[in-house]
Homo-oligomer: A and B are copies of this chain.
Amino acid sequence: MVRVDLSGAKQFFKGSGPDFELARQAHETLASGTGAGSDFTGWMAFPRYMKEHELDRIVAAAETIRSRSKALVVIGIGGSYLGARGAIELLRPIPAKEDPQIFFVGNGLSADYLCDTLDRLGDADFDVNVISKSGTTLEPAVAFRIFREKLAQKYGADADKHIFATTDAARGVLKGLANENGWESFVIPDDIGGRFSVLTAVGLLPMAVAGIDVRKVIDCAIEEMEALDLRSPENPAWQYAAARQHLYRSGYGVEILGCYEPSFRFMAEWWKQLYGESEGKDGIGIFPASVEFTADLHSMGQYIQEGARIIYESIVRFDRSLRSYAIPFEQANADGLNYVAGRNMSEVSSIAADAVKEAHISGGVPNIQINVPRRDEAGFAALVCFFEMACGISGYISGVNPFNQPGVEAYKKNMFRMLGKPGAV
């Protein structure tokens, strides 16, 4: 499990601090399936189901793709995009020589980005993983048309063997096409919303193709979900959820998620969707933002230290780096750096993180620290399960339905009308 350290937030708590009774009630509502949106809480029990059902087939499909292709084109948007990208950039920031490149498309409408991706793909052998519950979301549907055409040009009658569809178990346009054309398909469960789907085939197939040990991810997730069912203020999900809701009600309307590893960038994007989409409704919600330290100490650092006191920070820290590098000694010492010579960069980074924490607290920024053992499969599973559990609990504490996203339809409705889609009004 991750460990939450609230010591840097305590001095900012009002009254008796975070209300763990609210966390207990919210957890009970979540676990008993009695709250708003309870039809979408399947993600808690899902890792165990995954292990017993699709996992072998996902690993086999990934092996097929890895053995024959230099690239996997992943088509998806929102929850069908950010989780896999977050995981892959975190755990495989640089593809090994034997790993296919993963290209993410269908997550926007930029012609330039599409054409550039086609250039990068070149004439490499590739497979396509199209991820969409319905098959009719505009961005991925457009990309899928384009890449089906490319597959047909390249592989002719064999093109269908290069398509893997992650979609509804039974209904929808994409499932229909998959059945009709014999594409291997994987399931987006009915009771798991997009932003909670990274541990379903949605995330796992691209991750496995990228060389991530998804069996290990799922084994760890099973343990994590179980551990996070703990009904006690010792539960890190309770601590995070209760603390952030307490800070929100004390006037801290913006949460900054930070990490000292640049590879965390897209995990932060995944986290923004998880929390922003779950809690930003009914005119309320903590605004989720992110920073990359120490880089952004030299950009957003000034604001964090001395700007409007509406922010708190949640900092993800890995206990150990994967690799080590000792700072070289220089006889001349012209740069005056010999005081850190011989020390491992990780040690220096960790001291910097402590220094930043102290500075930001002094500046009036509450600090929540989230400690994770390692930037590996287990650490990833721990982070995902922790943030998902805490999100459900935090959403119920705030009084919203954390599992719907009614606001996402507004632009689509306008867009379909303006594009002249048949039947759109």
Q: Is the CB of B352 within 8 A of A411?
A: yes
Q: Is the CB of B305 within 8 A of A285?
A: no
Greatest chain B CB density within 10 A among A120, A144, A325, A335 is at: A335
In the complex, A144→B144 CA distance in Å?
A: 45
Q: Does A11 contact B (CB under 8 A)?
A: no
Q: Does A139 contact B (CB under 8 A)?
A: yes
In the complex, A420→B347 CA distance in Å?
A: 13
Q: Could you say which residues of chain B place their CB within 8 Å of the CB of A373? A: none
Q: Does A421 contact B (CB under 8 A)?
A: yes
In the complex, A325→B143 CA distance in Å?
A: 11
Q: Is the CB of A351 within 8 A of B418?
A: yes
Q: Is the CB of B335 within 8 A of A308?
A: no
Q: Could you say which residues of chain B place their CB within 8 Å of the CB of A170? A: none
Q: Is the CB of A284 within 8 A of B308?
A: yes
In the complex, A346→B335 CA distance in Å?
A: 51
Q: Looking at the assembled complex, report how far the CB atom of A311 sits from the nearest CB atom of chain B, in whole angstroms.
A: 7
Q: Is the CB of A111 within 8 A of B276?
A: no
A302's contact among B287, B330, B407, by CB below 8 Å, is which? B407
Q: Looking at the assembled complex, report how far the CB atom of A399 sits from the nearest CB atom of chain B, in whole angstroms.
A: 13
Q: Is the CB of B410 within 8 A of A362?
A: yes
Q: Is the CB of A300 within 8 A of B323?
A: no
In the complex, A339→B337 CA distance in Å?
A: 63
Q: Could you say which residues of chain B place their CB within 8 Å of the CB of A78? A: 295, 298-299
In the complex, A420→B120 CA distance in Å?
A: 47
Q: Does A292 contact B (CB under 8 A)?
A: yes
Q: Is the CB of B351 within 8 A of A415?
A: yes
In the complex, A289→B290 CA distance in Å?
A: 8
Q: Does A124 contact B (CB under 8 A)?
A: no
What is the predominant secondary structure among interface residues of chain A facing chain B? Answer: helix
Q: Is the CB of A145 within 8 A of B307?
A: no
Q: Looking at the assembled complex, report how far the CB atom of A382 sits from the nearest CB atom of chain B, in whole angstroms.
A: 18
Q: Could you say which residues of chain B place their CB within 8 Å of the CB of A340? A: 138, 142, 419
Q: Is the CB of B299 within 8 A of A277?
A: yes
Q: Could you say which residues of chain B place their CB within 8 Å of the CB of A335? A: 135-136, 141, 144-145, 173-174, 177
Q: Could you say which residues of chain B place their CB within 8 Å of the CB of A109? A: 260, 294, 345, 348-349, 352
Q: Is the CB of B328 within 8 A of A149?
A: yes
* Contact code string A302-332 (vs B, CB < 8 Å = 1, else 0): 1111111111000000000111110110100
Q: Looking at the assembled complex, report how far the CB atom of A181 sits from the nearest CB atom of chain B, in whole angstroms.
A: 10
Q: Could you say which residues of chain B place their CB within 8 Å of the CB of A375? A: 112
Binds B, one of A31-39, A64-72, A238-246, A261-269: A261-269
Q: Does A408 contact B (CB under 8 A)?
A: yes
Q: Is the CB of B142 within 8 A of A345?
A: yes
Q: Does A13 contact B (CB under 8 A)?
A: no
Q: Could you say which residues of chain B place their CB within 8 Å of the CB of A107? A: 294-295, 298
Q: Is the CB of A111 within 8 A of B325?
A: yes
In the complex, A211→B45 CA distance in Å?
A: 52
Q: Is the CB of A407 within 8 A of B283?
A: no
Closest to A292 in B: B108
In chain A, positions 79-111 with a C-beta closer than 8 Å to chain B are: 79, 81-82, 93-94, 107-111
Q: Is the CB of B113 within 8 A of A262?
A: yes
Q: Is the CB of B298 within 8 A of A77?
A: yes
Q: Could you say which residues of chain B place their CB within 8 Å of the CB of A322? A: 112
Q: A308-B283, A334-B176 are in contact. Are A297 and B411 (CB under 8 A)?
A: yes
Sample of 10 A–B contacts (CB below 8 Å): A93-B113, A109-B345, A111-B321, A112-B261, A139-B294, A254-B254, A276-B300, A281-B302, A351-B419, A363-B407
Sample of 16 further A-B pairs with CB below 8 A, known A285-B307, A363-B407: A107-B294, A107-B298, A110-B263, A112-B375, A113-B263, A138-B340, A194-B298, A273-B300, A279-B307, A280-B304, A283-B309, A287-B308, A288-B303, A304-B407, A305-B410, A336-B422
9 nearest CB pairs, A to B: A78-B298, A280-B303, A280-B307, A305-B407, A273-B299, A355-B414, A355-B415, A109-B349, A306-B407
